[in-house]
């Protein structure tokens, strides 16, 4: 692991803590800059998500920002969807995954750009 890769992971982790979408940025870094295959980058990103999401959940629970009754209803379908998406991703080609992820990033950016603040 290079120092630059470690710094990229650190920066993306900090941004994740602020809710900026560090995991997506990390995926873009790994595939665009570090030239990792899409499937490898996705696997690393999933592993990266586990400790960062656990730390965020603990922090949000301590600060009373989580409705505990809703947690189980969000967590169980989320885990099932993640497992199904991982299974689907292993059966798709890297060029197709790149295109799908690019479309997702563009759509997410457009949605965020035109979002009305509450």
Domains contained in the chain, number: 1
Residue identified by tokens 């603040």 is: 117
| 14-23, 37-46, 63-72, 108-117: least confident range | 14-23
* Rounded CA separation 41/104 (Å): 16
| The overall pTM is greater than 0.85 | no
Domain that holds residue 95: 3-114
DSSP-derived secondary structure letter, 118:
-
Is residue 31 scored above 80 in pLDDT? yes
Mean pLDDT on 74-91: 83
Band (72; pLDDT cuts 50, 70, 90): confident
Q: How many angstroms separate the CA atoms of 70 and 38, rounded?
A: 33
What pLDDT does residue 103 have? 94
């Amino acid at each position: 692991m290079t120092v630059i890769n470690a710094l990229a992971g650190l920066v993306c982790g900090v941004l994740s803590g602020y809710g900026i979408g560090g995991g997506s940025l990390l995926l873009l870094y790994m595939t665009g800059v570090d030239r990792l295959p899409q499937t490898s980058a996705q696997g690393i990103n999933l592993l990266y998500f586990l400790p960062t999401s656990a730390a965020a959940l603990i922090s949000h629970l301590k600060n009373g920002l989580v409705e505990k009754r809703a947690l189980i209803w969000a967590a169980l379908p989320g885990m099932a969807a993640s497992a199904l998406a991982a299974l689907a991703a292993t059966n798709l080609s890297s060029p197709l995954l790149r295109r799908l992820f690019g479309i997702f990033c563009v759509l997410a950016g457009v949605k965020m750009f035109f979002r009305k603040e509450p």
